[in-house]
Structure formats: structure tokens, C-alpha cells
């Protein structure tokens, strides 16, 4: 039986034997000018998305997605992967086109950097450290922890200002810094998430079982990479693919980010169009009220007297957090 070697899993070692190369990280320079990414049979093959787990570690519910086996590893049918991706992509675009957000979840080592980068690129949110129970189902409590983290940051900044009345000794600053670091590691990717996400992307449903369960309980659609050892029935949009390879993770996370950006552009365009439609047809203009001056040239119209909408964000609390 294959054991761990240099941090690699059994599956990754076996994949090396059949010619698939797995990278530990992705060079930032190699990622330039690759967006938007294209999901095709060729790109899936190049990323090694067709490699499943060992044949003795499969889930029978994945049978319909398995093309065959080679060297003791199941091979995933990429035609079905491509079909599943198209459905998932449509769901992401539709969610973000309505003003929704995407939450990326990937806590295993090779997924963390990718998940963070792609979620930031599309304005989404991410969880790359241990999933805190209740992140979705007890979101109000999570928000309180986020608010405390922000207040501690403000307190630390004020204490460093020479003109501030707040002074902290070395021991107090160290304690606060440690607490901020702990909160940042757990909540840094969702600190700006003021409401529940519209859709969730999970890179490994076995590892992120709690996240999937919470999303299902709240009827939040879940898109997930499902390998041959997974149960595809527990998510809304299962995408049969290798969930361990760095190249596959990068490909699908980037593609989801592209879809989210596309939906955001649709939402922005519809918002602008709605504002144009809401403007009164006979908006007042400078001059004699006709929109033209004496010689027939158009005047500059005055701004609408319709008040702007008040911001939806909560006002910052002035009180300092309890120590």
C-alpha cells in the first residue's frame, strides 16, 4: 500500500506513476494574461481533471461519471464533467447577475492560495482555514466576532497615534495582536460579508462536509468538485473532476471567478439601465425651462432633486471593545 511521501497523498503518488505531474504552487507570473479561462476537453485533460482515486476507494454513486480505470486509478468521463460545468456556470452567472455573492471554500493545503486569489479577483469571499461551525447557520454570531476584530484593529491603530488618549503597554498590545491574528486567520476571508452568500463553491466535499451541510440547511446552492470517492447527491451542482490536483483546482476556481465577474457586469448594466428608466422624462434644465437657450443650443440639465439612497452599512460604534 502506498504511504505518504514528501507530503503527497496516496492518490498523488499513484498519479505520478501514470504520468500526471502535480505542482505544489503556481507561479504568479505564469497566471498573467490567462483570463478568462476556457473549460474544454483539452484544458481538462491538460489539468489532469480526469484522474480519480484508486479503484478500491470509490463511491458507487459516482459510477455514472466513471469512464474506466487505468493503472489502478479510475478515469472520469470528461464529457460529463463539461456538461456539469456548463450547468454550474449558468448558476453562478444567474446568482451574481441578481446582485448575489460567491463564497469559495477550500481548506486543504494545495487549495488555500488558489481559493483566496480567485475569490478576491471576483469580489467574492473565502474560507481557507478551518471551517467554523455556524459560519452560515449562526451568521449573526460570526458577524459579532468580525465586528470585534475590526474594533480591536481600530483600538491598536489609535494606541499608536501620539495624539490619541488611548495608550497600551507592551503586554496589552501583544495580547490584542495575538487575538487579531487568530480572528484574521479564521474570519479574514468573510470579514466584509454582510449577508449570506448566494452560492457556495466547495473544492472538496469530504473535507468540507460541515460547510456543505450548513449551506444545504439554508437552501444555498452548492457547486463542488466531486472525485470518485465522493457522494455527488449531497450538492446541487456536482462537477466530476480530480479534487486534489493543483491545476484542476486553479482551472475551476478561475472559471467560477470569471462567471461571477460576468454576472456582476450584467447586474451593473441592469442597475444603470433601471436608473435611466427611473429618471423623469421632463427633467428640469437651466434657462427658461425648455431645455434650450435663446439661440436654440441645449442647456446643461440640473441634477435630479431625487435624494440619494442612504447607505445600507451599519454605523461604526464609538465604544471600544471590552478587554
**Model-level pTM?**
0.74
Pair 118, 210 in one domain: yes
User: What's the pLDDT tens digit per position in 101-113?
Assistant: 999 999 999 999 9
Pair 121, 204 in one domain: yes
Least confident of 77-81, 127-131, 163-167: 163-167
Least confident of 9-23, 124-138, 215-229: 9-23
Pair 87, 65 in one domain: yes
Model confidence at 201: pLDDT above 70:
yes
CB 92 within 8 A of CB 199: yes
> Within a domain: residue 50?
yes
Looking at residue 173, its pLDDT comes to 85
- Unique residue bearing C-alpha cell 458507487: 60
User: What's the pLDDT tens digit per position in 45-72?
Assistant: 999 999 999 999 999 999 999 999 999 9
> Within a domain: residue 255?
yes
Looking at residue 168, its pLDDT comes to 82
Q: What is the dihedral of CA 83, 88, 94, 99, to 10 degrees?
A: -160
CA distance 46 to 40: 10
Number of separate domains in the chain: 2
Domain boundary among 239, 259, 276: 276
Pair 173, 142 in one domain: yes
Residues paired with 240 in a beta bridge:
226
Pair 253, 186 in one domain: no
Pair 118, 259 in one domain: yes
The residue segments making up the domain with residue 261 are 45-136+196-276
Amino acid at each position: 500500500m502506498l504511504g505518504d511521501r514528501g507530503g503527497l497523498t496516496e492518490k498523488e503518488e499513484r498519479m505520478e506513476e501514470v504520468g500526471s505531474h502535480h505542482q505544489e504552487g503556481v507561479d504568479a507570473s505564469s497566471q498573467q494574461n490567462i483570463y478568462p479561462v476556457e473549460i474544454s476537453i483539452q484544458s481538462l485533460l491538460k489539468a489532469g481533471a480526469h484522474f480519480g482515486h484508486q479503484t478500491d476507494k470509490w463511491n458507487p454513486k459516482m459510477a455514472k461519471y466513471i469512464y474506466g480505470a487505468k493503472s489502478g486509478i479510475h478515469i472520469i468521463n470528461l464529457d460529463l464533467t463539461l456538461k456539469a460545468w456548463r450547468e454550474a456556470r449558468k448558476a453562478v452567472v444567474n446568482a451574481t447577475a441578481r446582485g448575489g455573492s460567491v463564497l469559495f471554500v477550500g481548506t486543504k493545503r494545495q487549495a488555500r492560495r488558489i481559493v483566496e486569489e480567485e475569490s478576491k479577483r471576483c469580489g467574492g469571499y473565502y474560507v481557507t482555514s478551518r471551517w467554523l461551525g455556524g459560519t452560515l447557520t449562526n451568521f449573526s454570531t460570526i458577524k459579532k466576532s468580525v465586528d470585534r476584530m475590526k474594533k480591536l484593529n481600530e483600538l491598536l491603530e489609535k494606541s499608536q497615534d501620539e495624539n490619541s488618549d488611548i495608550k497600551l503597554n507592551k503586554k496589552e498590545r501583544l495580547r490584542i495582536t495575538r487575538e487579531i491574528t487568530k480572528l484574521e486567520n479564521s474570519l479574514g476571508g468573510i470579514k466584509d460579508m454582510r449577508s449570506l452568500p448566494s452560492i457556495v463553491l466547495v473544492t472538496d466535499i469530504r473535507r468540507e462536509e460541515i460547510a456543505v451541510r450548513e449551506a444545504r440547511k439554508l437552501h444555498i446552492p452548492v457547486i463542488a468538485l466531486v472525485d470518485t470517492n465522493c457522494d455527488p447527491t449531497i450538492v446541487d451542482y456536482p462537477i466530476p473532476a480530480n479534487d486534489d490536483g493543483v491545476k484542476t483546482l486553479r482551472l475551476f476556481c478561475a472559471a467560477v471567478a470569471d462567471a461571477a465577474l460576468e454576472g456582476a457586469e450584467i447586474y451593473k448594466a441592469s442597475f444603470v439601465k433601471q436608473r435611466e428608466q427611473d429618471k423623469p422624462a421632463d427633467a428640469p434644465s437651466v434657462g427658461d425651462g425648455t431645455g434650450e437657450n435663446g439661440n436654440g443650443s441645449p442647456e446643461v440639465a440640473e441634477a435630479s432633486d431625487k435624494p440619494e439612497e442612504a447607505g445600507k452599512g451599519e454605523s461604526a460604534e464609538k465604544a471600544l471593545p471590552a478587554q
